[in-house]
Amino acid sequence: MSDARRRSPLGHRKPIRAMEGAARMVELPFIGKLALRVDPQADNGAVRRALGVPLPADACTATRQDETAILWIGPDEFWVITPRDGEAGSAKALEKELATIHHQVVDVTSYYTVIELAGPRAAEMLMKLTTLDLHRRAFVAGQVAGSMFGAAQATLWQVEGDEVDGGPTFRLLVRRTMADYLWCLLAEAGFEWGMPKQAPLSGETWRLER
């Protein structure tokens, strides 16, 4: 008999921390995610009326109000991030307000999960895995970028800046099939600061070059 219980891609992983508050990592399961295609020039405030959040005005940035955010992915492509299990209501509101505008709304909640990485060493951990320049002068709160992290493609969103107590906070949106790989790779990147090692479920052996 099949098990119909809902499971997050990283439901088998517990939050982990490095030593002395250097970094901390946790999955944020079941956060709603919608892929939205719409011409920003044709929007005319419809998205703000639907979600209470406007489309980002600048490339590679995010707008946010409480737990709802919109991430710029491309000239006419955005990701809508909703509170946990809030994707259906947000999709319905968008369809209503955008009814007369050419658009597409696709629920990708189950296709992606979110890994939150925070702490004073978080950016250094990420820079071991990607070519993105994440220095505090180059990448700040509210910025968004897609990149490869090791062999995993993910979208990086900096939620909080370095000035926030506890260090900057980043969220990585990654396909569920690559989530465990990225989790283990991030843990390996933080090993020098005491992040506990995480063994890949698939049993492969690899080492992050230092």
pLDDT tens, residue by residue, 59-103: 999 999 999 999 999 999 999 999 999 999 999 999 999 999 999
Ordered by start, the domain boundaries in the chain are 31-107, 111-191
E strand segments, 13-132: 16-17, 24-27, 31-38, 62-65, 68-74, 77-84, 103-107, 112-118
Mean pLDDT confidence for 35-60: 95
Give, in order, the Cα–Cα distances in Å from 62 to each of 39, 80, 103, 178, 189.
Answer: 16, 10, 19, 24, 26
Asked if pLDDT for residue 203 goes beyond 70, the answer is no
Q: What is the DSSP string of 128-146?
A: TT-SS---TTTS-TTBEEE
110-130: pLDDT as tens digits: 999 999 999 999 999 999 999
Question: What local confidence, expressed as pLDDT, does residue 20 receive?
Answer: 93
Q: Residue 36 — pLDDT band, cuts 50, 70, 90?
A: very high
Question: What local confidence, expressed as pLDDT, does residue 166 receive?
Answer: 83
Q: Residue 6 — pLDDT band, cuts 50, 70, 90?
A: confident
Q: Residue 204 — pLDDT band, cuts 50, 70, 90?
A: low
Mean pLDDT confidence for 132-158: 96
Question: What local confidence, expressed as pLDDT, does residue 207 receive?
Answer: 61
> What is the CATH number assigned to the segment(s) 31-107?
3.30.70.1520
Residue 122's SS3 state is helix
Beta pairing partners, 21: none
CATH superfamily assigned to domain 111-191: Probable tRNA modification gtpase trme; domain 1 (3.30.1360.120)
152-188: pLDDT as tens digits: 999 999 999 988 888 899 999 999 999 999 999 999 9
